Structure 1
Amino acid sequence: MDIGVVFQCDPPAREVVRLAREAEAAGFSHVWTFDSHLLWQEPFVIYSQILAETSRVVVGPMVTNPGTRDVTVTASLFATLNEMYGNRTICGIGRGDSALRTLGYQPTTIAELRDSVNVIRDLANGRTATYRGAEVHFPWAAGGELEVWVAAYGPRALALTGEVGDGYILQLADPDIAAWMIASVRAAAEKAGRDPAAIKFCVAAPAYVGADLAHQRDQTRWFGGMVGNHVADIVARYGADGAVPPALTDYIRGRQGYDYAEHGRAGNTHADFVPDEIVDRFCVLGPVEAHLEKLTALRELGVDQFAVYLQHDDKEHTLAAYGEHIIPALRDATPKPTPAAA
């Protein structure tokens, strides 16, 4: 299992770059960031500096969307970074939440998301894409290798992921919900004639290493509020019965609104409705042993990467603990392939 890390692009941008260097040194495989331009700084500018000051980590948004950038511009950004730094980017994409809602817009449609996945991947990888009825391509792009991973919760978005995504991003770390979501994506892939085993699965959630669970819950309760935004959309569209597991829909009954000025922030006052049980299920908290237990369970479900949301008051210690204890333990526990018979 790969271990990635997710940063917000809070100023100063040099601090994000510094933390990315620390993450690479600690053994993290991916450096992701939020992409919400009214709330945080522009990520693609920061990606270029991260890539220049590292040599191994793969970099990209968790997640971008088709609404705030023309998808051909997004593809050009990735293709350019890959040409400069040797195919070390990845595109996480979804329908859009904070980036669009802070502008007064609704998330994009499933059809728009589907088109964006195909256009971004084809153009960034040097192929011709169909865009607004026209055939377009980058004559300068060659040798690109960009994967597009789709973030999804609802039934139609999960189906789309199985049909066209290179990977699936689930933004919560509950093994039971993860099993349901992964099965849905795999079923959609098989129905579309794709190999379900070819899709990569990423679980992303806050992780905090330590003994004080009460404090850790207070620092990560915001995440249940963030997830609740997406769940509220699902409930509004499909109702509360059957579209997704009850563990996702039941807890938002006490939700009374959301202030995006506090989006993704520890201490978010609009996350008070999130109970401790949900914080514990959605996040990865406690001592090292608790992290290893939960991550091992996720890996056994087929999760290829766990991405640590690092939005709390103990970033440095969490990075160090993962580098010193968790990443090596997961690496050493990975079964080695059986040598082929002579």
Structure 2
Amino acid sequence: MDFGAVLQTNPPASRTVALAKLAEQHGFSHVWTFDSHLLWQEPYVIYSQILAETRRVIVGPMVTNPATRDWTVTASTYATLNEMYGNRTICGIGRGDSAVRVTNGKPTTLKELRESIHVIRELANSRSVEYNGATLQFPWSTGSTLDIWVAAYGPLALKLTGEVGDGFILQMADLDVAEWMITTVRRAAEAAGRDPMSIKFCVAAPMYITASDDEADRQHMRDQCRWFGGMVGNHVADIVAKYGEGSAVPKALTDYIAGREGYDYNEHGRAGNTHTDFVPDEIVDRFCLLGTADQHIEKLKALKELGVDQFAGYLQHDNKEETLRVYGETVIPALREHITAKA
């Protein structure tokens, strides 16, 4: 299993770069960031500095969207970073949430998402593409490679992911939901004539490590990560509005938003978000990875058994460095294949 660290690009940018470097030192293969240009600093500028100061980590947004950036500009950014630093970028993409809603916009349609994936992928992989009635290609780009991983929740978005995605991003670590969604994506891939096992699966959720798991520690971790249930609730609310409460979407995903009254994007992704009181403790425990290293390892092994290829841990809490250290020294080694020097 691979491991990613998910960061917010809060100022100063040097802090984000430092955390990315620390993640690499502790064995993380990916560094992801939020992409919401009004709420936080511009991620692609910071990616350039991260890539310049690291050797191996792959960087990308979790997640960008087709609405706030021209697709050809997005592709050009990736191809340029790949030319400068080697092929060390990845594109997580979805229909759009905070980046579009803060400007009173709406998430894109699935048709637009599908088209944007095709345009970005072809151009960023140094290939030509049909766009707005013209055949386009970067004459300066050769050998660039970019995988596009799709973030999705609803049935039609999961179907699209199976049909066109190089990977699937599930932003929650609930085992029941993960099993349903992975199965749904693989079935869609197979129906589209693709190898369902060729799609990479990433589970992204807050990770918080403590030395003990007494009730006080557990409650502190929950309060630091409750924001995540609110963020996920935005997407779940869209699903319930579209499909109704009796849809095929697991009840574990839909029931908890009954008490949701609103959401303030000024507090998006922040510990202590005052608009997430509706998220019960049970949901925080199910959606996140909280507790001792052994508890993290147990849940990660269960996710791996379901077919998860990468766990990407959000670090929007007060224990960033220690969580990275324990993952590097204890958790990540426990999920690696063990090889002995002498048989």
Q: Residue 241 of structure 1: CA displacement?
A: 1.1
TM-score under structure 1 length normalisation: 0.97
Q: Bigger shift: 183-192 or 127-136?
A: 127-136
Distance 2:118 2:226 in 1: 35
Q: CA deviation at 1:332?
A: 3.9
One-letter identity of the residue aligned with 1:47: Y
The alpha-carbon deviation at position 129 of structure 1 amounts to 1.1
Encode CA deviations 1:128-186: one digit per residue, 9 max, x unaligned. Answer: 11212322111111101100000000111100000000000000001110000000000
Give the match for residue 292 of structure 1: 297
Counting only pairs closer than 5 Å after superposition, residues 1-342 of structure 1 correspond to structure 2 as 1-210=1-210, 211=213, 212-332=217-337
CA distance in 1, matches of 2:180, 2:53: 39
Q: Distance in 2 between matches of 1:196 and 1:239?
A: 28
Aligned-partner Cα distance in 2 for 1:142–1:67: 27
- Contact 1:170-1:178 within 8 A present in 2 as well: yes
| Residues in 2 aligned to 1:238 and 1:312: alpha-carbon distance in whole angstroms | 33
Give TM-score, length-normalised by structure 2. Answer: 0.96
The amino acid that maps onto 1:139 is: P
Distance 1:157 1:36 in 2: 21
Q: How many Å apart are 1:215 and its aligned residue?
A: 0.3
SS in 2 for 1:270: coil
C-alpha contact 1:150 1:167 (8 A) present in aligned 2: yes
Q: Which residue of the partner structure matches residue 339 of structure 1?
A: none
Would you say the 8 A contact 1:154–1:243 is kept in 2? no
Task: Give the distance between the partners of 1:116 and 1:294, measured in 2 at CA.
Answer: 34
Q: Which runs of 5+ in 2 are unaligned?
A: none
Name the CA distance, whole Å, in 1 between partners of 2:132 and 2:309.
34
- Structure 1 counterpart of 2:72, which letter? T
AA in 2 matched with 1:41: Q
Shift of 1:297: 0.3
User: Whole-Å Cα distance in 2 between the matches of residues 147 and 264 of structure 1?
Assistant: 25
SS in 2 for 1:308: strand
SS at match of 2:290: strand
Give the length in aligned residue pairs: 335
1:263-290 C-alpha deviation (Å, 9 max, x unpaired): 0000001100000000000000010110
Identity of aligned residues (%): 72
SS where residue 207 of structure 1 aligns?
A: strand
Deviations 1:30-64 (A, max 9, x none): 00000000000000000000000000000000000
SS of 2:208 mapped into structure 1 = strand
Contact 1:61 1:92 in 2 (8 A): yes
What displacement does 1:3 show?
Answer: 0.7
- CA–CA separation in structure 2 for the residues paired with 1:129 and 1:199: 23
Shift of 1:242: 2.0
Give SS of 1:36's match: coil
CA distance in 2, matches of 1:115, 1:243: 26
Deviations 1:223-275 (A, max 9, x none): 00000000000111111112311111100000000000000000001100000
Counterparts of 1:260 and 1:130 in 2: how far apart (Å)?
36
Native 8 Å contact 1:171 1:205 kept in 2:
yes
Q: Distance in 2 between matches of 1:158 and 1:48?
A: 31
Which one-letter code corresponds to 1:242 in the other structure?
S
Residue ranges of structure 1 left out of the alignment (5+ in a row):
337-342
1:243 and 1:83 map into 2 onto residues whose CA distance is 44
Equivalent residue letter for 1:245:
P
Q: Distance in 1 between matches of 2:286 and 2:134?
A: 46
Alignment partners' CA distance in 2, 1:257 and 1:228: 10
Q: Deviations over 1:110-140 (max 9, x none)?
A: 0000011111110000111121232211111
